[in-house]
Structure 1
């Protein structure tokens, strides 16, 4: 029994020694951390040689990048002893350097500025030596886990000094930290920039070459660091006051390289963030030339070409950037003539499965086609009109159809051009179908398209009459939920359509008594107030009265009496009809064309 007890005590002795050695290591580590933390905090108040102090803080943060010695190998105790000694040297150096801070505050020189400068150089050399020793230990495999000095993130309402201290600490880690430390610092920086706008000013103004560090890290081979830095850059790019700092710092070239599939193997997330950066940098066509000069147009169009592999958000962002670039005439001409943008974007408008990407592509096609006649012709010849008309099909979402209608308006109707091709694609049937739908927004857009088509030519008005537009326009006029603007467009369009003899004859002979409905609408409401819509209705009735069949319809209608229409309606006597016509001509002489 005594022998067994002795064996247990002898086995426990090494374990106790190892435990004590580990406690010594932890104590030395804590002392080093306290000394470094105190020095970093105190050095922020130094006013003399601020750049040297900033470089010193960078070295301080690099001193303890990885600090744990693994147990279990034969040389573990020797490594631990060496590491503990190194920690003590670091702490001693930090305490000695602490005495330099008061001398750097301008209150006492202790030998003058030259002496202070020399002492700071000596401190920098000592810290460099400590960093080199840590690198050697790390290369030996003894250091495995980061336990570096960590500055806590300031809470809500923190002062700018607290934020500055924290952000500078993050940049020190980005500059000199190991791989894992750099990843953590990049993530923390992107988060704090998103959450606190003060940090943007700190990075741009209070961190030595802060923008330059971020730009350099855009070339970092670590994908995670690159993604987080792109997010940080995106936040800064959203600041009007500091967006220019990024451009001056050379951010555009590495961001474009992230998007260039041939030059990098960036992740989808990195490309999305890079595209968002360019979106912000090119608002209102700013910096468009810089993006184009670095191959941005080609890189962005490649993303649109490979829209099946690229995510919808990435394609949308690429289209937004291209739309900003197209605001510059020379770049837009290059996109059309040399970069092959039109077929890529027309194809994207038709084949994209993501509605948002399809919408962005259609809007970009119109932006390019609205530039000049040659660009418009290139867009039309590529089949953009047919693609836009097919987008009006019921299989498309309401938003896609709405954008397609607006795109057609911008490309073909404002001013009218390529209307023959538009009608040949079946546009009238699509518009008529949308007028019958229950979607108020789509109805309004379709009504606007019909309103723009009516003045183009008599042939188009005949085609619209044959298609059945007049009956739908009367239905719009009779809907109490329609806005005054919609009623006016419907009334003006109806007036234009009945100016054609064939349409007038069809309107009078329809089985539905639409003439009576027009008279009813004309006489409804405030009889003393002649609204724009009623002016056009009055013109419509005047045109109908120019034919004998029209007059018979009017005279036999129950709404033809003065009770319904007031003095504006035609009576049974010729002199009264003439007086009514004269009053109509006085209200809208420009709408009364000679009729057959």
Structure 2
């Protein structure tokens, strides 16, 4: 029985008690007087009831609590709007109980005992609901204010205390009111959440987030569910604290239920919230507990473009968890994700799909083979040519790098001149992380001499990358790629003609230069000196490489002694040649 429209069956027949119109401050006082009078009568009659004495003692406990609650606030009259539904409902329940008490005082009992038991239980249940709502009002602190709070947005200059009071008032109205009250309260909540972040953070701290989650229930009015889902999606997107509060209040399960069964607008709001909640790695495990992987997959398959995009984002977030990856494999996630790479899919969705594929491909070889079997390599190669964003390009390159561990893919990539040239362009013009990935691929692929010659113009960029301490591993990747390219004779000659690159390389050999591991430039020098011809070796000697290598040999740097000997051998040949000519 709803407190705003109680319906009770009396022994004499069915009676519907409608709540009176909004009371004024004067009529509110009269209503309170009448309620207190009824309470006095009922507390007395509950002790003298001749029938159903046990039930009356239970009701008496609730009547005593009601009396105590009504006596605890000195400020009732300034809040007629808040009390316009609750006090008439309480009055109606007490009036009905009084009529029942009169019947139970007679001996013998004149009516149907089953009917009376039902009436008493119904009235007792209504009294419990009304007590709960009254307790909510009292604990919110709203009724302890001498002036009424109007449900409107606080001014920008409002103090924190004023905003907190507004939030408590708002959530109180949200919980005790009917649908119209709830809609107005939710409108005010959304207005507050769209303002400054500080006020929005206060909502998660001071508001009843658990009740906001409760409004997602299927039995609630559809516009209310949509507004509640919108509010939650904003809350979880604000910051880590708000996200944690919603998650700990049990928000993930109901949001997944909405994503599974709601209308399209509801699904979109729920998908936004689920993506935000799962952005915290500590929350990823919970997706499996709620059966959420299947729900997310279905949203990707049949949801609106917006719901699909955010569901993909949530899948990407939770794919970092091993047990979730197992479920993704069982649900056929790879096939779906590969399909999402086609150009007809929205750019944001493609970006999230390839990001998820990159995570799966790097986790286990079974995902690598599955991606290949689903035709993923071909779509990834197309995506490299026209990526929707820089992040998508990075994820694509990471995935290709993972797939290159498979022999058949390595051979395919190694023989693709277009792909190799593309890697060379990324080394010259890409972001640092892309330069690292491209360098790593060049060093790992079995590239033909012809394709190595095709990207000889990226060698100077590789030398510059060797000087960069971040990201971690970039120097190693760049030096390995450069060593690989220097296996081609023409590339070695081109490299040695580049005075700036040679100077940079020799500077990196200097023991006083601590920005790079010495074994890396030593390996490059060794690659040139091994079969670069006397001209290449002489240029290194002239640039001062020998003296640095000698010191590095004494420091026992790997490869330094051998490289030094080769350059020294070249120097002796030069000296003998000059002597003979003289």
Counting only pairs closer than 5 Å after superposition, residues 123-138 of structure 1 correspond to structure 2 as 127-128=88-89
Count of residue pairs brought into register by the alignment: 452
Q: Identify if the C-alpha distance between structure 1 residues 489 and 246 changes in structure 2 by more than 3 Å, giving closer, same or farther.
A: closer
Q: Is the 8 A contact 1:212 1:249 kept in 2?
A: no
When normalised by structure 2's length, the TM-score is: 0.62
When normalised by structure 1's length, the TM-score is: 0.61
Counting only pairs closer than 5 Å after superposition, residues 472-511 of structure 1 correspond to structure 2 as 472-477=457-462, 483=468, 489-498=477-486, 500=487, 503=488, 505-508=489-492
Kindly state the Cα deviation for residue 587 of structure 1 after the two structures are TM-superposed. Answer: 3.6
Which of 197, 202, 209 is residue 198 of structure 1 equivalent to? 202
* Residue matched to 1:445: 434
* Residue matched to 2:575: none
Counting only pairs closer than 5 Å after superposition, residues 292-441 of structure 1 correspond to structure 2 as 292-306=288-302, 309-311=304-306, 314-337=307-330, 339-351=331-343, 353-394=345-386, 397-409=389-401, 411-412=402-403, 417-425=405-413, 429-436=418-425, 440-441=429-430
* Residue matched to 1:265: 263
2:456 counterpart of 1:471:
yes
Kindly state the Cα deviation for residue 395 of structure 1 after the two structures are TM-superposed. Answer: 6.4
2:84 counterpart of 1:91:
no
Kindly state the Cα deviation for residue 186 of structure 1 after the two structures are TM-superposed. Answer: 1.3
Q: Is the 8 A contact 1:542 1:584 kept in 2?
A: no
* Residue matched to 2:43: none
Q: Identify if the C-alpha distance between structure 1 residues 365 and 170 changes in structure 2 by more than 3 Å, giving closer, same or farther.
A: same
* Residue matched to 2:104: none
- Cα distance between partner residues in 2 of 1:591 and 1:429: 39
Kindly state the Cα deviation for residue 519 of structure 1 after the two structures are TM-superposed. Answer: 4.2
Unaligned segments of structure 2, at least 5 residues: 6-18, 38-60, 72-84, 94-147, 567-582
Q: Identify if the C-alpha distance between structure 1 residues 591 and 317 changes in structure 2 by more than 3 Å, giving closer, same or farther.
A: farther
- Cα distance between partner residues in 1 of 2:309 and 2:419: 27
Q: Is the 8 A contact 1:507 1:514 kept in 2?
A: no
* Residue matched to 1:274: 270
- Cα distance between partner residues in 1 of 2:248 and 2:181: 28
Q: Is the 8 A contact 1:151 1:166 kept in 2?
A: no
1:180-216 Cα distance to aligned partner (Å, 9 max, x none)? 4332211212333563423322224xxxxx6246414
* Residue matched to 2:187: 187
- Cα distance between partner residues in 2 of 1:359 and 1:509: 41
1:16-41 Cα distance to aligned partner (Å, 9 max, x none)? xxxxxxxxxxxxxxxxxxxxxxxxxx
- Cα distance between partner residues in 2 of 1:533 and 1:243: 43
Kindly state the Cα deviation for residue 358 of structure 1 after the two structures are TM-superposed. Answer: 1.4
Secondary structure of 1:91's counterpart equals helix
- Cα distance between partner residues in 2 of 1:474 and 1:442: 16
- Cα distance between partner residues in 1 of 2:448 and 2:297: 40
Q: Is the 8 A contact 2:425 2:458 kept in 1?
A: no
Secondary structure of 1:350's counterpart equals coil
2:565 counterpart of 1:565:
no
Q: Is the 8 A contact 2:153 2:191 kept in 1?
A: no
Kindly state the Cα deviation for residue 332 of structure 1 after the two structures are TM-superposed. Answer: 1.7
Secondary structure of 1:327's counterpart equals coil
Secondary structure of 1:588's counterpart equals coil
Name the Cα RMSD after superposition. 4.9
Kindly state the Cα deviation for residue 252 of structure 1 after the two structures are TM-superposed. Answer: 3.6
Q: Is the 8 A contact 2:168 2:207 kept in 1?
A: yes
Counting only pairs closer than 5 Å after superposition, residues 219-258 of structure 1 correspond to structure 2 as 219=218, 222-234=221-233, 237=236, 251-258=251-258
- Cα distance between partner residues in 2 of 1:174 and 1:283: 30
1:60-85 Cα distance to aligned partner (Å, 9 max, x none)? xx69xxxxxxxxxxxxxxxxxx9889
Secondary structure of 2:264's counterpart equals coil
- Cα distance between partner residues in 2 of 1:355 and 1:220: 36
Kindly state the Cα deviation for residue 509 of structure 1 after the two structures are TM-superposed. Answer: 6.5
- Cα distance between partner residues in 1 of 2:522 and 2:288: 57
Secondary structure of 1:365's counterpart equals helix
* Residue matched to 1:10: none
Kindly state the Cα deviation for residue 483 of structure 1 after the two structures are TM-superposed. Answer: 3.6
Unaligned segments of structure 1, at least 5 residues: 1-57, 64-81, 101-112, 133-147, 205-209, 570-578
- Cα distance between partner residues in 2 of 1:84 and 1:403: 63
Q: Is the 8 A contact 2:281 2:318 kept in 1?
A: yes
Q: Identify if the C-alpha distance between structure 1 residues 176 and 116 changes in structure 2 by more than 3 Å, giving closer, same or farther.
A: same
1:380-401 Cα distance to aligned partner (Å, 9 max, x none)? 3223333222211156544432
- Cα distance between partner residues in 2 of 1:159 and 1:150: 17
- Cα distance between partner residues in 1 of 2:353 and 2:21: 63
Kindly state the Cα deviation for residue 422 of structure 1 after the two structures are TM-superposed. Answer: 4.3
